[in-house]
Chains A and B, each alone.
Chain A
Amino acid sequence: MRKGLLIFIVLASISTFGGCRAKPTVADVADQSTPTNRPMRIVTDDLGRQVAVPVKIARVVSLAPNLTENIFAVGAGARLVGVTTFCNYPEQAKEIPKIGDTMTPNMESIIALKPDVVFVSTASQIEAFMKTLEANGIAVYVTNPTSLDGVMKNLKELGELMGTHEQANQLVADLTARINAVYQRVSGEKKIHVFVQISKEPLFTIGKQSFLTALLEQAGGESVTANVDSAYPKLSKETASALNPETLILSDSEDNKEPNEVFKNSSAVKNGHVILLNADQLSRPGPRLVNVLEYVARQLHMGKFEWKRGLDPSGNSAF
């Protein structure tokens, strides 16, 4: 596949070139705003790596939009000094300096901001630069919540790390209460069969390994593609056509606002049971996922419980 090879070569060159920096000298390291007498501790990130971080973390960079939301959620938003171009929630995140996108963050900008910790959602994102960052006294912490439970754990973790345990724990307690409330309402109801469309053309959906599959279950639904391998499989239109889901879930991004042609005769389309969700919320495992849970549960079992305004940390409910 020459095209694939070419794309790989171009991207690899970009990343390697981006990573070529002069090795910092001893003088540089001594210059760091993190003086060596600052108390440090060793923590373990989600990948099991031992990371040395200051006890009092003052400046952080987030390389994933959901991590940005989580950091704000635990009350440490003011300490964010750099975020990605995709980080647009909460409002304050928009003011924070941008250091590139999730796939190709700008190393120079990150180093210039002199953060204590960089939060990353996958190790692969930043493998090439770990050495450089560490040489500059910047810790790299990998964390990647991929389920509601994972989000709770992550919020607690962040609270721990950033020293805002009280606020974090309170948030987790509230969110858990909301999750339980939903559970109370929908357990015992017949599960609604749902097809979640990730992209209209080509047709992508959620599979076994997607956190949305589990989320749907908790909302009183069942993904009709729950047993398809991989997180976001490209689905055969023939199979999709035969599925006949009761409800369709779409998102509000350009390429996903309409159901795929194959569903035109499904009971979901015929009965107008089409749910449109905010694309950001659907793809970011963070506290807003609970909003999604509540909304979906409500839509699926319409009229079965009243909408209660959720305790969203920014005081703002998406729906």
Chain B
Amino acid sequence: MAESKAKIKSFSASLCLGGVLVLLLVIVLVGAAMLGAEQLPLFDLNEQQRSIFYDIRLPRILLGACVGASLAVAGAGLQSLLRNPLAEPYLLGVSNGAALGTMLAFVFFQSLEITRPVLAFAGAGLATLAVYRMAKSCAGMNVERLVLSGVIVTTFLSSVIVMLTTLLDAAKLRSFTFWLLGDLSQATRNGVYLSLAAVIIGTIVLTSQARALNLMMVGERDAFDFGVEVSRVRMLVFGASSLVVGAAVAASGSVGYVGLIVPHLVRLSVGSDNRLVVPFSAIAGAIFVVFADTIARTAIAPRELPVGAVTALIGAPMFIYLLRKN
């Protein structure tokens, strides 16, 4: 009895573990708040320093946390749903759909900022729908078809994005190139609120499907046999993923590797139970991106690196290491 208990975490043990992770996040947030291109004193900030901290640094850090959480939680959900450890928002076209949506919002509705997350979500949703439709056949959908469709959609959207950037004039092109690699420097208060709302809703929805995902993770047919309403779960997971990825990409472009690496690391630490993996991925994703962004904005200060470049530099070798380990 004790032996089997050892691997399954009881509710209270899981809460404890979650608590530790949250504590780690708080530490990272505080650490990030203390670092930046400008040295700020701990207390008694003058007006300008206060402005730097509250208007520039803090929104950026919080946005980074939201974006990291969003991408990681979407990755965790999609990997379980699609029974594919390589699934993540970029691979399935969700990120690119959101990016294209945001670009179109920028080109046609220049100043109306609210259009960006809206069109990003629409783009993400449409891309997901396209992938899903393409993958469906009368024999039902299997994972291979889904991943193949995802790759087709994402590369197609990539080409459209490249085409769009070629047609843009040099000025817009410059701003997009940086953004496409993931850029948190355009963080605003409203952007943070929106992202926070999206990631909270998304994480709750995805965690609510965690038990079903545990079954779907080992076989969609099995899940169906055991009472899971498979199409409903699919819709909720795709919907929630599109929501959080749309919000994240609209705010900061496409930060790569987070959705891929973070859920893997979480699974290595706590096992594959999605009730843990999904929410913990959110927290771990936040930690990862805040950490990467702190490097991005201090390594060559006062110049900045795109955060997506840093996550790739950290993420790619980590991914190779994980592959080896398996």
Contacts and interface: CB of A to CB of B under 8 A. Distances in A.
A7 B181 CA distance: 12
Contacts of B179: 202
Given A10-B159, A10-B162, A201-B186, A237 B178 contact: no
A3 interface: yes
A199 B256 contact: no
Interface string B157-184: 0110010001001011011001111010
A253 interface: yes
B175 A1 contact: no
B172 A255 contact: yes
A11 B163 CA distance: 10
A6 B51 contact: no
B223 interface: no
Given A234-B303, A236-B297, A237-B56, A254 B51 contact: no
A3 B297 CA distance: 22
Given A1-B309, A256-B171, A265-B48, A6 B37 contact: no
Contacts of B312: 1
Interface in A1-52: 1-4, 6-7, 10-11
Contact of A241 (B56, B110, B183, B254): B56
Interface residues of B, number: 40
A239 B301 CA distance: 9
Contact of A242 (B48, B159, B166): B48
B308 A238 contact: no
B303 A235 contact: yes
B52 interface: yes
Interface in B160-214: 162, 166, 169, 171-172, 174-175, 178-181, 183, 185-186
Contacts of A238: 36-38, 52, 56-57, 297, 302
B272 interface: no
A54 B155 CA distance: 48
Interface string A218-253: 000000010011100111111101101000000001
Contacts of A279: 171
Contacts of A201: 175, 185-186
11 contacts: A2-B256, A3-B180, A202-B185, A229-B300, A229-B303, A236-B185, A238-B37, A238-B38, A238-B56, A238-B302, A242-B38
Given A238-B36, A265-B47, 8 more contacts: A1-B181, A6-B162, A10-B159, A199-B174, A234-B303, A236-B37, A236-B297, A238-B52
Interface of B: 36-38, 47-48, 51-52, 55-57, 90, 110, 155, 158-159, 162, 166, 169, 171-172, 174-175, 178-181, 183, 185-186, 254, 256, 297, 300-304, 308-309, 312
Interface of A: 1-4, 6-7, 10-11, 104, 199, 201-204, 225, 228-230, 233-239, 241-242, 244, 253-256, 261-262, 265, 279
CB-based closest 7 A-B pairs: A236-B37, A239-B302, A238-B38, A233-B303, A238-B37, A253-B171, A239-B37
